[in-house]
């Protein structure tokens, strides 16, 4: 994986708590709004989907694309962010 963004570093540095969905790396305002409209309003709700998909990169990327239209880079950034967070906190 290439270097991580500051947003990624900030997210994985601490417990998730009640962070909004757009606190996730790869999820900006537009994708965040689409996710919120489908009930994924908090980062932990997206984490739940990530875990339901058994942390499988291909399945999660496909879900993110289908759910909010995330492109390949956005999918990878979000997956990497959640995977690293899980590695640190679960």
13 part of a folded domain:
yes
Which residues lie below 8 Å from residue 12, measured CB to CB, with a gap of 6+?
Answer: 81, 84, 85, 88
Q: How confident is the model at residue 1 (pLDDT cuts 50, 70, 90)?
A: very low
1 part of a folded domain:
no
Secondary structure letter of residue 24 according to DSSP: S
Q: How confident is the model at residue 30 (pLDDT cuts 50, 70, 90)?
A: very high
77 part of a folded domain:
yes
| pTM listed for this prediction | 0.94
Q: Look at residue 2 in the predicted model and tell me its pLDDT.
A: 54
Secondary structure letter of residue 42 according to DSSP: B
Note whether 13 and 86 are within 8 A (CB).
no
Where residue 54 sits, what CATH number does that domain have?
A: 1.10.150.40
Among residues 75, 82, 7, 17, the alpha carbon closest in space to that of 46 is found at: 82
Segment 56-66, tens digit of pLDDT: 999 999 999 99
Mean pLDDT score, 66-75: 98
Note whether 40 and 49 are within 8 A (CB).
yes
Q: How confident is the model at residue 45 (pLDDT cuts 50, 70, 90)?
A: very high
């Amino acid at each position: 994986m290439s270097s991580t963004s500051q947003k990624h570093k900030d997210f994985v540095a601490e417990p998730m708590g009640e962070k909004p969905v757009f606190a996730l790396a790869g999820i900006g305002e537009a994708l965040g709004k689409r996710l919120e409209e489908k009930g994924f309003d908090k980062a932990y709700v997206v984490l739940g989907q990530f875990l339901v998909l058994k942390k499988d990169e291909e399945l999660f990327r496909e879900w993110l694309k289908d759910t909010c239209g995330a492109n390949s880079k956005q999918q990878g950034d979000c997956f990497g962010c959640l995977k690293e967070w899980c590695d640190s906190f679960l």
